[in-house]
Amino acid sequence: MGSSSLNPVFVGGTGRSGSTIVGDLLDHHPAVTMTLPSEVRFITGNNGIADALAKAGKPAGLKAAELAVDRIHNRWFFRDENSGLHTSMSQEFVTETTDKYLAHFENSPQQASQVLVYSIMEKVALGCDAERWVDTTPANARKANLIAPIYPQHKVVVMVRDGRDVAASFVHQTFGPSDVFEAVALWEKRMIKSDQAVKRCEAGAVLTLDLQDLVVNERDASLDLILEHCELEDSREMRDWFKARVTPDGSHAGRWRRDFDD
Please state the rounded mean pLDDT for residues 97-108.
Answer: 99
Domain residue spans of the chain: 1-35+130-262, 40-129
Q: CB 143: neighbour CB atoms within 10 A?
A: 24
Confidence of residue 245 (pLDDT cuts 50, 70, 90): very high
Could you please report the per-residue DSSP string of 176-240? S-SSHHHHHHHHHHHHHHHHHHHHTSPTTSEEEEEHHIIIIISHHHHHHHHHHHTT----HHHHH
Helices (H) and strands (E) in the chain, counts: 11, 5
Q: What is the pLDDT of residue 256?
A: 47
Determine the Cα–Cα distance for residues 134 and 50; give it in Å rounded to an integer: 17
Q: What is the pLDDT of residue 253?
A: 57
Is the CATH number 3.40.50.300 carried by domain 1-35+130-262? yes
Model pTM score: 0.92
User: 19-39, pLDDT tens digit by residue?
Assistant: 999 999 999 999 999 999 999
